[in-house]
Structures are given as structure tokens and as C-alpha cells.
A and B are shown apart, each in its own frame.
Chain A
Amino acid sequence: MFLSMNWLSDFVDFSGLDKLKLINQFSLSTAEVENEIFFKGSDIEGIVLAEIKEVADHPESKKLHLLKVDAGSGELIDVVCGAPNVRVGMKTAFAPIGAKIGEITIAPRALAGYTSYGMCCSERELGISDSHEGIMDITEDAPLGTPIKEIFEIDDIIFEVDNKSLTNRPDLWGHYGIAREFAALIGRPLKPLDCVELSAFDHLPKVDMKIEDPLCQRYSCLQVENITKSVSPVNMRIRLFYCGMRAINLLADLTNYLMLEMGQPMHAFDSRKVEKLRIKRFDAPHVFRTLDGVDRNCDENTLMICNDNTPVAIAGIMGGLDSEIVEDTTRLTLESATFDAVSIRKSTVRLGHRTDASMRYEKCLDPEMTVPAIARFLKLLTDIDSGVQVVSALTDEYAFRYPVRQLSFDKKFVDRYTGIEISNETIEKTLKALGFAVTVDGDSFEVTVPSHRATKDVTMKADIIEEITRIYGYDNFAIHTAEAPLYPVRAAEEKTVEDKMKDLLVKRFSLHELHSYVWAYYDEYKELGIEVEKNIKLVNATNPNIETIRRSIIPTQICQVKTNATYAPSFGVFEIGRVIDGLKEDGLCNERKKLCITLFDKTKSVEALYYELRDILAVMTDDLRHATLTFETIEATKSYQHPRNLNAILLDGVKLGEMGIVHPTISKKIDKKAAIVFAEIDVDAFAKVKNASITYREPSKYPEMEIDVTFIAEKFALIHEAIQKADCPWIRSVKVYDTYQDENGKSITVRLLFSDNERTLTKEEVMAVIDSIIADLDAKGIPMKK
């Protein structure tokens, strides 16, 4: 919203004050002012009122005229002018030699063989409207030669307030409300609005009007006749133009002007079309043509202004084409009303049509404003067109009243909230300036919230704090730390685990942390042949390709691996992110925090890469939990899983997740040669596993004995089991020293390390243990290789 300092100064005296500083203060205390401030009129200089004394056609040009202009000195100046509307006796804005318009300084100029000693200006050239059809036709009475800026309010400072920062302040949607803020900020009085006393028309007949729907809070109207003027005064048009509106005709301009001044939208109907004003909703959807000529679908929830049963306007949004003021309109009905804010907002969303009026109604306008708005409108109208006659009594139905809100608080409350000392006098003065009624009794305050703040904005004590402090100025606050006792802060285990995982994966295993979205990527999955797992969906995703929430990070990470396939011959990525694994029994989402790792390698065998990933998981578990993972082969169920080597990852018998190889049809699409393996574990489940403490074992002083034994076996697990079964305290470590394949099948060489802390072990007793392990395994069909 654009605001004019000239307009504001109708209501507050700014004399002697730095206006730019005031605007900045307003920005810090009330609502954000945009950076760019417009200094209107600053680019024109030396333009004066002049009269065209003679007009002659240019002998060789159809467009140009040769003028003699009197700019106040009595001397006739030769001017060549191309405007079509020149005539003898016309007064206009004249830029003599030396005057400035924007970058141009007026100098004698030859135009088609004649020299022009100045220029007659259009409104657009002066920057006060879009009008460029002709030069200004000035009817104002002033001596020739009077600077144009003394006749019209061309010099002005315009600033813009972001509408978003006014959402909670319905009172700030017009200049008068803004002026109230300025008045409070500078401690000067707010002047009352100049209005017509409407009770003078009480004897006239009322308008036939009835509110038939609770969505209309208040409806006030008045009929007038005999409007003879159709063009608004220049100053009014300048203000409208500076504030971003285009002048149309006197009535339209006046309703706009009033809206910009008081924040109250108004509408003027042709009285012939609204003989029986009814405000109601229709039972069925219907099409309605608004005054911009557009047919709009209004449903049964849209509040309409009607002439009996014919809609004439969409309440609070826009009038209808049929009831508009037209050429032969003699009597008009002025509407000034308030409607339910939520209903207006919903209707604008449904209609997809937001107007200056609806924007204001959405904010909960003060219903107390409807009648003063009519009184003010009438004052402005009669000042311009003195022949106007009021032909009805003020007709006003006030169906919904906001409760009068009274709040009491004491100084202690203010002190506690602010943390600084603000005196009782300052509190009282500030609140009064903002329109609150205040009674003070010692340190106790009793305030009545003014109607313009009582629609939704100020409802409780804490709201009063804001009023006091923002006018006091946050820049004026002394700041200090809080006095609070100290207590230890313990980090949540799952947070610590997450941080340590990241460190380990990045620092030790050189993996890269990525983020991906929480939903399945339909397009990218499809390209790779990954099926979207059935899961809960978003109901309102604007992009249908993302509507299903992922159950696992793995497929999204596989897509990211594809993105990076040419990044390096080998790399590993990981993410700690959320998934939704279906719904829980209570119907709520089963949200899980998962760690997903994917390794990509063109230089290693898939087996080597697979073990690398297994080792990453094992080191992580040993490091963060001092525990050992186990694995269990499971069946592939997802499109991206290779049917072989898919393993469940178990810790303490709890399934944490799974690891496997990316299905070859997918991995070949990513890279023909690369091995791609993945693992995913549940971070919260991992964190829940108790962290065992480190078990320290004193090293032996006696010699150790290393024994290698080779078995013909497919898997190490049974060998390991047999070794554990031997339950020998001398076994210090068990390692797989070598594995190889020959005509006998797969062989595994195990290296066992024996030692005792008390004595040197004999070969015989160690071999006895080895023999028992060999015998055990042999019985299970795992022979030793000789």
C-alpha cells in the first residue's frame, strides 16, 4: 500500500519534523516500510500557470499549433505545441526557458521551422497522471505565473508498506489509521475527520434494505441525487495516482479515495437497480457478471448483495455490471458495510479474484466505520459538487457487534514483560494516543480497546505490551541477560548417535552426506525401473509426481547415485533422513529416522565392495555401541534389490535394516560396469541398543601361539560357532586369514591366537583345543584341509 505524506498531513501536523526520519520510525514501530521512497515532484522545477492568448495553425503541420502564451509577465511567448486541445483563453501548466522536467532543461527549440520558447505540459509530463491526450486544462483560479506546485500538491513523499505486514491491523488500511500511528509516535494530536452531520436527513424516507444473512455484520446506505460533476479535482486525482490508482470519474474516484483514506470500501449503485436491497446467499450456484465484464461462478457460500432476488454485487468483493452507475443514472445508493472476514477470504479464493475491497474485508474491518465513512464521503462529495442532494435517511442495520473489550493490568506486568522501566505516564500517554480509553489508579490500569483495534487485533494483556513497547521504541531498550539458575544439559542419545555416525562416515570412510526429499520421485524411479512402494500419500501435492511418501531412502539415494555416476570412478554417499513406514495401529504415520548408505565403484568387484560396506556398518556398530552386528540372508521383495546377497542387519537380535546389491537391471542403467551396494538401518532402533562399555583385557606377558587351520567350508559362520563352542579362555583372537577356491570347493583359513596371562602354554594343550574344534566341524561335514 502506498501512502502519501501530504494526505497524512491532513490529519497530523508534521511541521518542523524530518519526514524521512518519521517514516523510518514508523517502520520500526508499526509496519515495515519498503526501502524505496518516492520524492514526487522533485524532478520538475519552474513550471508555472500560463494562459494561451493566441492559437494559429502551423502552416506545414496538421498537428502543430503556434501559440502565444502569457506566463504572468504580460509578455507573449512563442510556443510551438502539438497538443490537440489547445484553445484561446485556456490556462495550462507551462514550462518556460530554464524550467526542468526530469532530465530535460527547457531551452529554445526549433520545431518545423519555428522556435518554441517553452513547453505546455500534459499531466503525464508532470508525473501526476497517465493522461497524455492533451496539455493540462486548468480551471483553478490563480494569477498567471504562479508556480504550478503552489496550485497543486505535486510535491509529495510517497512510501510503501508491505501489505503482508498489515494483515493483523485492519485499522491501517487507510491513511487515517496510519496518521493515528504517526500522531502517537510524535506525540501530536490526530485531527478529526471532517464529516457531514447525517442526522440532518433523519426525516427523509429510509432505503428498503434488509440483512438476511449473518455473514453481513453491518450494512449502511444512503441515497443521493443531482450529481452534476463527473471529473475529480486535480489534487484528488494526484493523490489517487500517487497511491497507485487511476482516476476514472468523480464517483468511482471518491469511493476509491475514501477507501484509501479510511480503509472502508464503498460502493455506489444505480438506485433504479437496487430498489429492494437484500443481503443473502443463494441456495444454488449461479453465474454473476461483475462490473469488469467477467462472468463469475458464485457458489451457495458466496454472500451476495441483491435487489430482492437478483444479485447486484458480490458482497465485499465487486459490484455487478448491471447495477453500475451509467450515463443516465440520476440517483445513486451508497453502500458502506462490513462482512464476515473469513467468508470474504474464502469467497475470493473460490472466485480466484482478489480486490482492493476484499483485501481489506479479509482483515476484519471495524463495523463502527461504516456510518462515518458515509458522512465523510458526503462531505467530500458536497465540497466538490455543492448541488448534490441527499434523498434518503441514513439506513443502517447493525447485525453483529464486536464485544467492547476492557483489559486491566498493572505496572508490574509491564515491567516483567519489558525488563525495563517505562513510566506510568508514558504508558497512559501512549495508549491514549492510539485511541484506547485509559483510567489509571496508582499502578493499576483499566483500558478500553478502541473499536478499530477490537475486531481481532487487541484481545488480551500481552497485546497491550506490544502497543506500549513499539511506540516506546525497541531501539531504546536497555538489554540484559536473563537471571536463571544453571542446570546440566544432557544431549539426547539419538542426537549424539546421529552426529557420531556422520563423523565416522565422513572422516573415516570418506562418504558424502546428501539430502533427498521425503517423497518418491515418480519420474526418476520410472526411468530406472524402480517401483514406487505403496504408502501414504499427500492429498494436495501440486506436483503429482511427488505424492507418495517414501518408505525407504534407498530408492531416492539410488537416483542420486545415478546423478553422480560420472562424478568419480568410485564414491559413497549417505543420508540420515526420515521415511514413513506405513501407518501405526493408531492410524498415525510410522515415521522412522533412517541411515542409508550407497557405495558406487567401477574399480572393485561387487564382492569387495559388499564387504567394504559390511565393514563400514560393523565398525560403526563397534564404535558407537561396542557391539557386533550379525546378518541373516533374506528374500528380495523390492524392485531395486538383487535377489542374491540381500541380508538383514541384526544387533542383539533386533532387525536394524538391510544391506544388498542394487538389482542389475537398475545398476546397468546407472553404469554398465559399476558395482552398487546399499544398506539402510533404523537410527532410532540403533540408538536404543544399549551402548556396552569397553571391555579391557590386560595383555599377556607370556608368548602367544598362532595356529592356522584350513577348512573346506562355504561360510565362516559354522567355523566361528565351533570355535565359540570350544569356549576356550586362551583364544585371544580369531581371524579369517585367507579364502580360496580350488577343485575341492571353497577353503577358509582361520588364524587363532592363543595365550594365557599366567603361564606359557604348551603346544600339546593348544593342539588339544584345535583338535576338538576340528572334530566338531568334521562331524558337521566341514572337513579340515590337510
Chain B
Amino acid sequence: MNNQVEQLREEFLSRLAAAQDAQTAEEIRVEYLGKNGSITGLIKGMKDLSIEEKKDFGQKVNVLKNEAAQKIAEKLAEIKQKELEAEILAMPEFDITTPANLERGSYHPITLVQRQCEEIFKSMGFAIENYSEVVSDYECFESLNIPKHHPARDMQDTYYLENGQLLKSHTSAAQNAIYRKYKDALINDGVPIKAIFPGRCFRNEATDACHENTFFQMEGVMVDKNISISNLIYFMKTMLSEVFQKDLSVRLRPGFFPFVEPGFELDISCLICDGEGCPSCKHSGWLELCPCGMIHPEVLKAGGIDPEEYTGFAFGLGLTRLAMMKYGVKDIRDLNSGSLKTLAQFTDDH
């Protein structure tokens, strides 16, 4: 009988050792330890033995049963480990050097430049205003002290519509509405008017690489009791240094615009040579950037603000020109071309 146990043990161990996968191990378990398994069968065959023999034999069978169960568990763990290792080894090495898929959307470059400017002005407490593209003669000219026979009102410059309205030829066309919107807060509560208004403008002219009939500007105004030329220079220098991310020098030259007095042309030190003189600034060291000035008393008056009590400055940045300068766009028409080859490159720029 004892031989029988030993024999079965050896047979079991050799069978188990040969098992390669979890299924075989499970079959072996059923075969030896199942209801009708060989080890289970040993116990069934004990009924003919004496009590003493039963005790001794039963103990041996139990030892074998436990050993077998443990060995099977070990075998299963071993197989699982092997499988995992095989799976790990089976993992191929990827080609990380293939080009990444960069497909994504894009912003129009004007949006990017406009947002950047808006951020700067917002941080300095300026409200951002929205204005229509169709305006009246009063908004575009009359309220801006541009008299009836001023050359700027010539038909060839401005797109007029059949109903007498026109497509705004400059963002200054929004000035009057801005003053009217904020004048009560200014006069009654002393809240200074600080606003920018980016917008699309139109000029009736032939287009080429440098000229477009449709372009973007951004107007800015600040009105309060004691706004001075000194403040104007300070703000322009600070804002433009932020826009171009470098400490710029600015200089003013007299410039004539009917809606400012005094009016200026503002130059910034050349972005390429920092004022040393280079081909890009025609060796002058300066780039003409934007017109600005102290708001003309008649313009304030038209906006319902008393020029004896309040002064202010205004400026007009060419957003289209800024975008072209910033990204090196050479042909202005590319911006309205709708061509994704050009425009899909402007993914983001914050």
C-alpha cells in the first residue's frame, strides 16, 4: 500500500513537471485530486485496512494530497510568470523616430496678433470693444472732424453703399460711439475711458502685395481729466514694448490727422537693428508704426465730452501690418486668400 502512495507521488510529480501550460496543469489536478482522481481513489481503497493501517495510510495520503495541491499551485504560478515574460518579450520595439501626427486646427494670424494686443491692453485696464463694419458718414468722418471736402472722403478711398452708409475706412469710426457709451461714467463717476476696438476696415483701392482693400486695425483711446502728451508717449512706449517683447525706443513726429491735435506719427526703434541702421529700416534706425495724437477737441465735443475739462489720446495700430511684421508675411493678399497651405501654419501663439 505504501508503495502505492510513493508510486503515485512519483508519477504525479513527473507528469506535473512535464506540464507546459495552465490547461495541462488543470487536467493533472482533476486527474489526481478531482472527485474521481487517483489520489482521491487511494482514500476510497482504504476501507479494507485495519484502524492502525488506516491511520498510518490516511496520513500518508493526506501528505501526498497537500503536497500535490501545493505543487499544482506552484506550477500554475510558474506558468503564469512564464506567460507574462513571454508577453513582455513579444512586445516589439516601436519606431519613435517616425514623424508625429501634428494635424490640428489653426487660428487666422490676425486673431493671434489681435489676441496678443488685447491681452496687453486688458492687463492695463482697457475695455475691448466690438464695432460694426458698416457705419454712417457721421461716424466715419463728420464726428471725427473730417470736414465735408477733406480728401479722405473722396469716393475713391471709401466704399459707399447704396443706402448712403459706408464700409468703415478706419477703426476711428468707432470713437464717437465709444465716447457716448462711456461718457456718463466719466462725467458722473470719474471713470476714465480706456478702450481699444479692433476691427476690419475697407479702402477702395487696387490690391497688390502691399495693398489690400480689406484689412484690420486696432484703435485705442484714453480720456480723463489730465491726460497729457507725456502720458501718450509713456503708454505707447510701454504697450509697444509689450507687443514686440523688447524694450523699444519710440519717437514722435508731427503728423496731420483731422481727429487729433496735436497729431503724431510714431516711430519705434528698428526691431532688427535696435536703431543702429540696417536695410530693413532703410538705415534710419526707425520704423514708422502708428499714427496717434491728442484727441481733437471737436471730436470730444461730438462725443458729448467737454474738451475744456477732459483731454485724451488716441492711436491706431495696423493689426494686419503687425501680423505681417511678426510672421514675415510678404504678400498681404495671403491673409484673405483662404489658402490653408498658408494659413494652417498658424496653430497657436500664446
A residues with CB within 8 A of B: 27-32, 35, 165, 167-169, 342, 345-346, 349, 416-420, 460-463, 465-466, 469-470, 474-475, 477-487, 489-492, 494-495, 499, 502, 505-507, 509-518, 536-542, 549, 557, 559-560, 563-564, 567-568, 571-573, 578, 580, 583, 587-589, 591
| The 5 A-B residue pairs with the shortest CB-CB distance in the complex, in nearest-first order | A419-B228, A419-B230, A560-B338, A466-B262, A506-B105
A416 contacts B228, C-beta separation under 8 Å: yes
B234 contacts A481, C-beta separation under 8 Å: yes
A469 contacts B229, C-beta separation under 8 Å: yes
A416-B226, A487-B125, A541-B204 known; A495-B340 Cβ under 8 A: no
B230 contacts A589, C-beta separation under 8 Å: no
Separation of A168 and B237 alpha carbons in the complex (Å) = 27
Q: List 11 A-B contacts (CB under 8 A).
A: A465-B294, A470-B262, A485-B192, A505-B105, A511-B105, A512-B340, A514-B108, A516-B336, A517-B336, A537-B161, A588-B163
Question: B64 near A: Cβ within 8 Å?
Answer: no
Specify which chain A residues have a CB less than 8 angstroms from the CB of B213 in the assembled complex.
517
Specify which chain A residues have a CB less than 8 angstroms from the CB of B128 in the assembled complex.
491-492, 495
Specify which chain B residues have a CB less than 8 angstroms from the CB of A549 in the assembled complex.
161
A502-B111, A510-B105 known; A518-B167 Cβ under 8 A: yes
**A478, A516, A588 pick with most chain B CB within 10 angstroms:** A588
Nearest-CB residue, chain A, relative to B164: A587
Specify which chain A residues have a CB less than 8 angstroms from the CB of B311 in the assembled complex.
416-417
Separation of A169 and B49 alpha carbons in the complex (Å) = 135
Taking the closest CB of chain B, its distance from the CB of A126, in whole angstroms, is: 28
Contact of A460 (CB < 8 Å), options: B205, B226, B297, B348:
B297
Interface stretch (choices B31-39, B76-84, B169-177, B252-260): B252-260
A578 contacts B133, C-beta separation under 8 Å: yes
B204 contacts A542, C-beta separation under 8 Å: yes
Specify which chain B residues have a CB less than 8 angstroms from the CB of A572 in the assembled complex.
105
A-contacting residues, B136-164, CB 8 Å: 149, 151, 154-156, 159-163
A-contacting residues, B324-349, CB 8 Å: 335-341, 343-344, 347-348
Contact of B134 (CB < 8 Å), options: A345, A470, A482, A589:
A589
A589 contacts B262, C-beta separation under 8 Å: no
A28 contacts B253, C-beta separation under 8 Å: yes
Specify which chain B residues have a CB less than 8 angstroms from the CB of A568 in the assembled complex.
340
A567 contacts B341, C-beta separation under 8 Å: yes
B residues with CB within 8 A of A: 103-108, 110-111, 115, 122, 125-130, 132-134, 149, 151, 154-156, 159-163, 165, 167, 190-192, 194, 200, 202, 204-206, 213-214, 222, 224, 226-231, 233-235, 237-238, 251-256, 261-265, 282-284, 294, 296-297, 307, 311, 335-341, 343-344, 347-348
B339 contacts A564, C-beta separation under 8 Å: yes
A419-B228, A466-B262, A482-B231 known; A502-B107 Cβ under 8 A: yes
A479-B233, A517-B336, A542-B206 known; A583-B251 Cβ under 8 A: no
A165-B255, A349-B154, A512-B340 known; A480-B234 Cβ under 8 A: yes
B256 contacts A167, C-beta separation under 8 Å: yes
Contact of B105 (CB < 8 Å), options: A466, A507, A583:
A507
Specify which chain A residues have a CB less than 8 angstroms from the CB of B337 in the assembled complex.
563
Specify which chain A residues have a CB less than 8 angstroms from the CB of B115 in the assembled complex.
499
Nearest-CB residue, chain A, relative to B112: A513
Specify which chain B residues have a CB less than 8 angstroms from the CB of A27 in the assembled complex.
253
A578 contacts B132, C-beta separation under 8 Å: yes
B202 contacts A515, C-beta separation under 8 Å: no
Separation of A419 and B238 alpha carbons in the complex (Å) = 17
Specify which chain A residues have a CB less than 8 angstroms from the CB of B162 in the assembled complex.
536-539
Taking the closest CB of chain B, its distance from the CB of A678, in whole angstroms, is: 14
A462-B296, A563-B338, A578-B132 known; A480-B230 Cβ under 8 A: yes
A342-B149, A506-B106, A542-B204 known; A419-B125 Cβ under 8 A: no
Separation of A462 and B296 alpha carbons in the complex (Å) = 8
A482 contacts B227, C-beta separation under 8 Å: yes
Separation of A29 and B262 alpha carbons in the complex (Å) = 12
Separation of A540 and B202 alpha carbons in the complex (Å) = 13
A589 contacts B231, C-beta separation under 8 Å: no
Contact of A538 (CB < 8 Å), options: B161, B254, B263, B336:
B161
Contact of B340 (CB < 8 Å), options: A342, A573, A588:
A573
Specify which chain A residues have a CB less than 8 angstroms from the CB of B227 in the assembled complex.
482
Contact of B229 (CB < 8 Å), options: A349, A417, A481, A578:
A417
Taking the closest CB of chain B, its distance from the CB of A265, in whole angstroms, is: 19
Taking the closest CB of chain B, its distance from the CB of A134, in whole angstroms, is: 39
Specify which chain B residues have a CB less than 8 angstroms from the CB of A587 in the assembled complex.
163
Specify which chain B residues have a CB less than 8 angstroms from the CB of A538 in the assembled complex.
159-162, 167
Separation of A420 and B234 alpha carbons in the complex (Å) = 13
B253 contacts A514, C-beta separation under 8 Å: no
Contact of A512 (CB < 8 Å), options: B129, B336, B344:
B344
A484-B192, A487-B125, A578-B133 known; A462-B261 Cβ under 8 A: yes
**Contacts beyond the supplied A470-B262, A478-B230, A484-B194: 16 A-B pairs with Cβ under 8 Å:** A417-B228, A419-B226, A462-B297, A487-B125, A489-B126, A492-B130, A506-B107, A514-B108, A514-B340, A515-B336, A538-B160, A540-B155, A542-B156, A542-B204, A567-B340, A571-B340
B262 contacts A477, C-beta separation under 8 Å: no
Separation of A29 and B337 alpha carbons in the complex (Å) = 41
Specify which chain B residues have a CB less than 8 angstroms from the CB of A499 in the assembled complex.
115
Specify which chain B residues have a CB less than 8 angstroms from the CB of A541 in the assembled complex.
159, 204
Separation of A540 and B222 alpha carbons in the complex (Å) = 35
Specify which chain A residues have a CB less than 8 angstroms from the CB of B294 in the assembled complex.
417, 462, 465
Separation of A478 and B128 alpha carbons in the complex (Å) = 29
Nearest-CB residue, chain B, relative to A470: B254
B105 contacts A512, C-beta separation under 8 Å: yes
A480 contacts B231, C-beta separation under 8 Å: yes
Specify which chain A residues have a CB less than 8 angstroms from the CB of B125 in the assembled complex.
486-487, 489
B105 contacts A28, C-beta separation under 8 Å: no
A513-B108, A571-B340 known; A419-B231 Cβ under 8 A: yes
A466-B262, A489-B122, A492-B130 known; A518-B104 Cβ under 8 A: no
Specify which chain A residues have a CB less than 8 angstroms from the CB of B134 in the assembled complex.
578, 580, 588-589, 591
Nearest-CB residue, chain A, relative to B198: A495
Nearest-CB residue, chain B, relative to A457: B256
Separation of A373 and B335 alpha carbons in the complex (Å) = 53
A466-B262, A474-B251 known; A515-B160 Cβ under 8 A: no
Separation of A487 and B194 alpha carbons in the complex (Å) = 10
B108 contacts A168, C-beta separation under 8 Å: no
**A30, A417, A499, A502 pick with most chain B CB within 10 angstroms:** A417
Separation of A542 and B203 alpha carbons in the complex (Å) = 11
Contact of A591 (CB < 8 Å), options: B107, B132, B226, B296:
B132
A475 contacts B338, C-beta separation under 8 Å: no
Separation of A506 and B192 alpha carbons in the complex (Å) = 36
Separation of A578 and B255 alpha carbons in the complex (Å) = 32
A514-B108, A578-B132, A589-B163 known; A35-B262 Cβ under 8 A: no
Specify which chain B residues have a CB less than 8 angstroms from the CB of A470 in the assembled complex.
254, 262
B130 contacts A494, C-beta separation under 8 Å: yes
**B105, B191, B263 pick with most chain A CB within 10 angstroms:** B105
Taking the closest CB of chain A, its distance from the CB of B262, in whole angstroms, is: 3
A484 contacts B251, C-beta separation under 8 Å: no
Specify which chain A residues have a CB less than 8 angstroms from the CB of B238 in the assembled complex.
481
A477-B230, A541-B204 known; A589-B254 Cβ under 8 A: no
Specify which chain B residues have a CB less than 8 angstroms from the CB of A489 in the assembled complex.
122, 125-127, 194
Nearest-CB residue, chain A, relative to B192: A484
Nearest-CB residue, chain B, relative to A416: B226
Separation of A541 and B156 alpha carbons in the complex (Å) = 9
Contact of A477 (CB < 8 Å), options: B133, B167, B229, B283:
B229
Nearest-CB residue, chain A, relative to B190: A485
A30 contacts B254, C-beta separation under 8 Å: yes
Separation of A35 and B347 alpha carbons in the complex (Å) = 38
Contact of A487 (CB < 8 Å), options: B103, B107, B155, B191:
B191
Separation of A647 and B132 alpha carbons in the complex (Å) = 28
Separation of A578 and B134 alpha carbons in the complex (Å) = 9
